[in-house]
C-alpha cells in the first residue's frame, strides 16, 4: 500500500491512481462519479510546512474558509490549531461547528450585514477586518448597544498589482476591497470617537494565486511603513494580517513561492513587529490536496474537433469556465495509447462548460476514469446545482482509508425548501 500524500507516478502500474494510500480506481467502483477526493495528509503537510516556515514569529494561520468549507476539512484545520478567516455568517457557523474557537476567527469582506456583525460579536470572534467607513460606524453602533468592545483591523488597499487573473486581483485602487492609507489614517486619528471599537490592527490581501514574491514584498512594505507611522503617532497596533494569496502549481512549469521565501518576505518587512501576525491562506493549504474523479460519458466527433464529454461539469468545478483556469486532466488507464487533441467538456448546456480546449490526451473510451487535479480549493465550495445536477460527493482520504465527508446530494435534498405557490399573501 502506498502512503504518499502527493499525486506521484511512483506506482508504476497505476501512475496517479494512488492518492494518500487510496487506490482511486477501486474507490470509484464504490462511489459513483463525479466526486471530489481530498488527501488529509497533503493538507496536514501544507499546514506543517507553513507553520514551520513561520517559526520564531508570533504568527497564526487563519484558513480562508471559502477555499473549501467542508466541515471535515475545517476539522483538520482545528486539529492543527489553525483558525479561520470567514466572510459570512454561514462560514462563521461552519467554523464554530467544526470546533474552531471563536477567538481564532477573523471576519473579512466588504458586505458584512448588521445581522452578521451581531452574530460575530455574540460569538466573540478575534477581530473584524473592516473595509469601509460605513462598516466601521456600524460596528461602533452595534458594539455600543451590546456594551462590548470589538477588536478591528483596517483592510488597507495598497494599490499593488498582484499580477494574477483580473477576477481574483483585489489590491488595486480600483478594486472594491479595503481603503486607502489616507482614509485609514483618518480612522486612527478619530478613533476616540468610536470607544466600542478597538482599532488596533492592519490587514492587507492583494489577490489570489500569486506566483511572484514581488507583489507581496511591495504590499508588506507599504503596510509596514504605515504601521511605523501609526506607532510613531502613538497608536498601538496589536496585529497585522498579511492575508492569503499564495499560489500553487496547476500546471508544469509554474513555480509557486516556497513557504520559506514567503516567510522571509514577511520577516523582511515585519520582523521587528512585536504583535501578532495573522495569515489567511486558502488555496495553498488545500488546492493540490484535492482531485475530482469523473468518467467519460461519450466521445463526440464534431466539425474537426473531438469532444470528450465527462460526467463532471462546470457546476462541480467552475474555475475553467470562470477564469479559463488550467487543471491537469489525467486519465486513469495503464496501457499506452495513441494521443489526440480533445475539447474536454461537461454535460451542462453552456459552451462555457469546458474544462480544456485542444488538450492532448491518450485515446479514451466511454466509462473510463479521468481525474482532474488541483481541485481541492474553490472546487466544491463554488459548486452549484445548475442544470439540476446534485452536488457531488466529497471523500476524505487518510493513509489508505476513506470516509465520505459529504454524501452526494439526493434529488430530495436538492429541492428541499422549494414548494408550489399555495399560500399567497400580501406584504
Ligand atoms: N483572505 C481574503 C480576505 C480573501 O479574500 C481571500 C480570497 C483569501 C484570504 C484566501 O486567498 P487564497 O490564499 O486562497 O489565495 N475563486 C477564485 C479565488 C478567489 C479568492 C477570493 N479571496 C479561484 O478559484 O481562483
Q: Give the model confidence (pLDDT) of 113-163 as tens digits.
A: 999 999 999 999 999 999 999 999 999 999 999 999 999 999 999 989 888
Cα(372)–Cα(287) distance, integer angstroms:
12
| Helices 181-189, 133-146: crossing angle, 10 deg rounding | 30
Within 10 angstroms of residue 203's Cβ, the number of other Cβ atoms is 27
244 Cβ below 6 A of ligand 1: yes
Closest approach atom of ligand 1 to CA 247: 15
243 Cβ below 6 A of ligand 1: yes
208 Cβ below 6 A of ligand 1: yes
Q: Could you identify the residue written with the cell 467607513?
A: 133
> By C-alpha distance, which of 347, 281, 265 is closest to 47?
281
What are the DSSP E strand ranges found in 204-275?
A: 239-241
Answer for the pair 292, 26: CB distance below 8 angstroms, yes or no.
Answer: no
> By C-alpha distance, which of 209, 370, 365 is closest to 292?
370
**Rg of the Cα trace of the chain?**
23
Q: Could you tell me how many residues make up the chain? A: 427
Cα(162)–Cα(165) distance, integer angstroms:
9
257 Cβ below 6 A of ligand 1: no
203 Cβ below 6 A of ligand 1: no
287 Cβ below 6 A of ligand 1: no
Cα(197)–Cα(358) distance, integer angstroms:
55
Q: What is the pLDDT of residue 15?
A: 56
Report the predicted TM-score, pTM, of the whole model to 2 decimal places. Answer: 0.95
What's the 80 CA to ligand 1 centre distance in angstroms? 21
Annotated active-site residue in 232, 336, 349, 421: 349
At 169-181, the pLDDT tens digits run: 787 888 888 999 9
What's the 305 CA to ligand 1 centre distance in angstroms? 35
At 350-390, the pLDDT tens digits run: 999 999 999 999 999 999 999 999 999 999 999 999 999 99
Mean pLDDT of 3-16: 46
Give yes or no: 349 in active site. Answer: yes
Domain 2-38+288-414 matching CATH 1.20.272.10: the answer reads no
Answer for the pair 368, 299: CB distance below 8 angstroms, yes or no.
Answer: no
What's the 284 CA to ligand 1 centre distance in angstroms? 10
> By C-alpha distance, which of 329, 395, 315 is closest to 357?
329
Q: Could you identify the residue written with the cell 490592527?
A: 201
Q: What is the DSSP string of 141-157?
A: HHHHHHT--EEEEEEB-
| pLDDT beyond 50 at 12 | no
- What is the percent of the chain where pLDDT is above 90? 90
Q: What is the pLDDT of residue 363?
A: 97
| pLDDT beyond 80 at 108 | yes
Closest approach atom of ligand 1 to CA 67: 14
DSSP 390: P
Within 10 angstroms of residue 335's Cβ, the number of other Cβ atoms is 5
What's the 378 CA to ligand 1 centre distance in angstroms? 9
Q: Where are the domains of the chain?
A: 2-38+288-414, 108-281
DSSP 107: E
Closest approach atom of ligand 1 to CA 165: 25
Give nearest CA residue, ligand 1 atom 19: 168
| pLDDT beyond 50 at 4 | no
Ligand 1 pocket test target in 60, 63, 64, 175 with most atoms within 8 Å of CB: 64
* Reported CATH class of domain 108-281: alpha beta
Q: Could you identify the residue written with the cell 489616507?
A: 182
| pLDDT beyond 60 at 3 | no
| Sign, CA torsion 268/273/274/276 | negative
Closest approach atom of ligand 1 to CA 280: 9
**SS3 for 358?**
strand
Kind and range of the H or E run holding 182:
helix 181-189
Amino acid at each position: 500500500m502506498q502512503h504518499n500524500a502527493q499525486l506521484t507516478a511512483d506506482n508504476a502500474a497505476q501512475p496517479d491512481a494512488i492518492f494518500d494510500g487510496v487506490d482511486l480506481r477501486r474507490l470509484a467502483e464504490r462511489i459513483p462519479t463525479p466526486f471530489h477526493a481530498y488527501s488529509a495528509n497533503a493538507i496536514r503537510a501544507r499546514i506543517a510546512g507553513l507553520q514551520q516556515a513561520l517559526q520564531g514569529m508570533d504568527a497564526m494561520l487563519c484558513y480562508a474558509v471559502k477555499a473549501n468549507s467542508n466541515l471535515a476539512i475545517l476539522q483538520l484545520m482545528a486539529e492543527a490549531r489553525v483558525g479561520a478567516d470567514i466572510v459570512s455568517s454561514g462560514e462563521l457557523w461552519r467554523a464554530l461547528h467544526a470546533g474552531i474557537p471563536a477567538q481564532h476567527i477573523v471576519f473579512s469582506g466588504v458586505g458584512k450585514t448588521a445581522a452578521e456583525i451581531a452574530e460575530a460579536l455574540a460569538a466573540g470572534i478575534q477581530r473584524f477586518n473592516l473595509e469601509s467607513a460605513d462598516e466601521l460606524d456600524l460596528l461602533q453602533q452595534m458594539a455600543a448597544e451590546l456594551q462590548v468592545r470589538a477588536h478591528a483591523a483596517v483592510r488597507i488597499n495598497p494599490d499593488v498589482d498582484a499580477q494574477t487573473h483580473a477576477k481574483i486581483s483585489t489590491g488595486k485602487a480600483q478594486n472594491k476591497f479595503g481603503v486607502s492609507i489616507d482614509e485609514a489614517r483618518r480612522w486612527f486619528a478619530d478613533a476616540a470617537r468610536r470607544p466600542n471599537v478597538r482599532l488596533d490592527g492592519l490587514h492587507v490581501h492583494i489577490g489570489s494565486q500569486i506566483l511572484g514574491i514581488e507583489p507581496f514584498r511591495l504590499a508588506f512594505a507599504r503596510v509596514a511603513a504605515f504601521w511605523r507611522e501609526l506607532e510613531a503617532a502613538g497608536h498601538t497596533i496589536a496585529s497585522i494580517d498579511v492575508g492569503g494569496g499564495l499560489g500553487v502549481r496547476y500546471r508544469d512549469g509554474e513555480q509557486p513561492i516556497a513557504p520559506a521565501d514567503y516567510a522571509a518576505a514577511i520577516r523582511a518587512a515585519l520582523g521587528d513587529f512585536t504583535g501578532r501576525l495573522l495569515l489567511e491562506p486558502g488555496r495553498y493549504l488545500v488546492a493540490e490536496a484535492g482531485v475530482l474523479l469523473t468518467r467519460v460519458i461519450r466521445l463526440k466527433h464534431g466539425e474537426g474537433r473531438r469532444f470528450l464529454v465527462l460526467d463532471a461539469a462546470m457546476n462541480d468545478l467552475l474555475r475553467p469556465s470562470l477564469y479559463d483556469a488550467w487543471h491537469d486532466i489525467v486519465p486513469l488507464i495503464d496501457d499506452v495509447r495513441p494521443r489526440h487533441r480533445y475539447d474536454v467538456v461537461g454535460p451542462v448546456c453552456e459552451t462555457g462548460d469546458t474544462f480544456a480546449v485542444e488538450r492532448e490526451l491518450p485515446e479514451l473510451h466511454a466509462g473510463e476514469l479521468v481525474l482532474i487535479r488541483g481541485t481541492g480549493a474553490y472546487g466544491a465550495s463554488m459548486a452549484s446545482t445548475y442544470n439540476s445536477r446534485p452536488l457531488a460527493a466529497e471523500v476524505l482520504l487518510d493513509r489508505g482509508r476513506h470516509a465520505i465527508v459529504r454524501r452526494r446530494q439526493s434529488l430530495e435534498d436538492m429541492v428541499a425548501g422549494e414548494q408550489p405557490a399555495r399560500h399567497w399573501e400580501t406584504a
